[in-house]
Structure 1
Amino acid sequence: MLATGRRPRSAALTLALLNVPMTVVNNPVWAAHGGQQRKQYLSGLVRGLSLGGGLLLAAADLAGKPSWGWRVSNAREHRSELRQAKAHVKDRYSD
């Protein structure tokens, strides 16, 4: 879904939430035997957490498309301003 652009924020958040535990489980730095294995696990852990961070950024990125909450709030605000403007015009010409 993220690649096709359908609900990208939800898809990115889901992938990020799945990525973090999988990264920790697949790279058990604490169970490494020897310096080379520890380096491999640590490299995989950093890489996985970096990808998770990128996914979280993608989940937070609005790319010019505000959230539904903002859209609803903005629409209410504009309706309120329109009502006030109409009332002002009506009062002005009703004299």
Structure 2
Amino acid sequence: MTITRLLARPMLATIFVAGGVNALRNTEGHAAKARKITDKVVPAAQQAVPQAPIPSDPATLVRINAGAQILAAAALATGRAPRLSATVLAASLVPTTLAGHAFWEEADADAKAAQQLQFFKNTSILGGLLLAAVDTEGRPGLAWRARRAAADVRREARQVAKDARREAKLAKAQLT
């Protein structure tokens, strides 16, 4: 077992379990911060996919995000679909960071410094999630497997064609 499986993934996941639980406990506070992001993103998403049932209430979106973070963190920590769960966590971290740590909007120097620190912490976590999302633990990824399968099919097709030509020559020789 690798150190990644034993320690790094569970350690990376803990912040999302804690953050998700905190968001569920303080949904209204998080929703107030999220509104500035949801008011921009939700209409664009509804326009892009009009048939999708996309909620517009920030509190509902905070709860969905919190649930996604808790489930994906549990999956990452236990090694179940680690690449997918890391991708889900990365996708959920971006709006969370933009809504919760907009240091550029702070007037107070101390508050700005604190929010900037949290923003860059989340940026660092995002980097770790992106690494986890592409980590194959030495095993080939899906793209490699697809290319390998296509090469195997082409090789087999060439062999079948070669065998068919040889058999046709033998059949022709027997007829004459």
Structure 1: tracts of 5 or more residues without a match: none
| Alignment partners' CA distance in 2, 1:50 and 1:60 | 16
- The reply to whether residue 15 of structure 1 matches residue 89 of structure 2 is yes
The answer to which structure, 1 or 2, has the higher relative contact order (CA under 8 A, 6+ apart) is 1
Structure 2: tracts of 5 or more residues without a match: 1-74
Closer/same/farther in 2, CA of residues 65 and 3 from structure 1, 3 Å limit: farther
| Alignment partners' CA distance in 2, 1:89 and 1:22 | 60
Q: TM-score, normalised by structure 2?
A: 0.45
Q: TM-score, normalised by structure 1?
A: 0.76
% identical equivalent positions: 29
- The answer to which structure has the higher helix fraction is 2
Query: Which of 113, 119, 136 is matched with 1:62 structurally?
Result: 136
Residue 81 of structure 1: aligned partner: 155
Q: For residue 104 of structure 2, what is the amino acid of its counterpart?
A: W
After superposition, where does 1:25-64 map in structure 2 within 5 Å?
A: 25-63=99-137, 64=139
- Across the aligned residues of Structure 1 and Structure 2, the Cα RMSD in angstroms comes to 2.4
Q: Deviations over 1:48-75 (max 9, x none)?
A: 11111211121122222311x4323312
